[in-house]
Amino acid sequence: MRAWAVEERRLVAVDRPVPEPAGHEVRVRVRACGVCRTDLHLLDGDLAPRHPGRAVVPGHEVVGQVDALGPDADRFALGDRVGIAWLRCTCGACRFCLRGDENLCIAPRFTGWDDDGGYAEYALVDERYAYALPDAFDDLHAAPLLCSGIIGYRALRRAELPPGGRLGIYGFGASAHLAAQIAVAEGSAVDVVTRSERGRALALELGAASAGDVPPEPLDAAVLFAPAGGLVPVALAALDRGGTLAIAGIHLTTIPPLDYDAHLFEERQVRSVTANTRTDGRELLDLAARLPLRVHAEPYDFADAGRALEAVRAGTVRGAACLMLPD
């Protein structure tokens, strides 16, 4: 099969054997794979390779059809459409898994980092970690929900936005444009801070109260989507009393020193977001179909994976970028 792999900080075209499913795995004939900023962090070395010397296939927003079953797989039938997300598997036995916090598992595996992902014609997934997808979304528009949607949803919940409160969003890419819609649908005002003119226009189109350089009013909660540590004190200073800042990314540049009075006093707080649980995924997919979310996605031919990644780096994508594979 054709695939793309990250090798010594380069994205290279490779030929790989078509994988065979074992145990509870199913094999998916990939139809679409979202291009996530995490893929860019892997390419740039911000995320250290899990298996140095082995070129991994990135991609963890995978949509396709089941075309082979492992000997113990019985959840899906051949031809079913499923999604593969970032959380690939957990141990199920550590204290975090046992209390329902599988995103904090001490021995997790992640799609497109520990194991090959969806920049390929075929991909494997343990059926217990795959998602049934809403019929409301075609392949192009379903793919971004599997990471951008899920992580944006978890970040929004971690920010503890009160009912009818005011939310600040810093950076406006794939995750942000979905999380903003959820907040607006739930009755909150959303102020978007981004340098991108396309991002500002999209934010206003999706119902944001403002889109500019500075929130016009104190914020009850905020989510930082941009991987820029320098924005942490900026976002904290914009919070009202008792406000929470959730940092959504897996990678962040260095955070400058914080001033207690300016950034944290009056019970302001900052939280990270670490992966997601499968419950987060199911809740987001259900919510996406019920609202419904307007997923903005730009398709790229599979052969143009490198160009898609560079568009994400440059911030020129309106919403999400997605690789499309031919039938």
Residue 327 has pLDDT above 90, yes or no: no
If you write DSSP's letter for every residue of 13-68 in order, what string do you get? EEE-PPP---TTEEEEEEEEEEE-HHHHHHHHTSS--SSTTSPBP----EEEEEEE
* pLDDT computed for residue 52 by the predictor: 82
Q: Does domain 150-272 have CATH number 1.10.443.10?
A: no
- The predicted model scores a pTM of 0.95
CA-nearest of 282, 319, 313 to 297 is 319
| Range(s) of the chain covered by CATH 3.90.180.10 | 2-132+296-324
Q: How far apart are CA 2 and CA 167, in angstroms?
A: 43
* Residues belonging to the chain: 327
Residue 300 has pLDDT above 90, yes or no: yes
Residues 276-294: what's their mean pLDDT? 98
299 preceded by cis ω (within 30°)?
no
| CA-to-CA separations, 25 to 21, 101, 207, 239, in angstroms, rounded | 5, 23, 41, 45
CATH classification code of 2-132+296-324:
3.90.180.10
Residue 206 has pLDDT above 90, yes or no: yes
CA 266 to chain CA centroid, nearest Å: 31
Sign of the dihedral defined by the CA atoms of residues 75, 77, 17, 275, in that order: negative
* pLDDT computed for residue 93 by the predictor: 98
Burial level of 27, CB count in 10 A (0-12/13-18/19+)?
A: buried
pLDDT tens by residue, 41-78: 999 999 988 888 889 999 999 999 999 999 999 999 99
pLDDT tens by residue, 262-283: 999 999 999 999 999 999 999 9
Residue 20 has pLDDT above 90, yes or no: yes
> What does the block give as tokens for 236?
């904290």
pLDDT tens by residue, 110-127: 999 999 999 999 999 999
| Range(s) of the chain covered by CATH 3.40.50.720 | 150-272
Residues 138-162: what's their mean pLDDT? 98
Question: At 246, which helix (H) or strand (E)?
Answer: strand 239-247
Span between the terminal Cα atoms of the chain, in Å? 14
pLDDT tens by residue, 76-102: 999 999 999 999 999 999 999 999 999
pLDDT tier at 133, thresholds 50, 70, 90: very high
Q: How far apart are CA 13 and CA 304, in angstroms?
A: 11
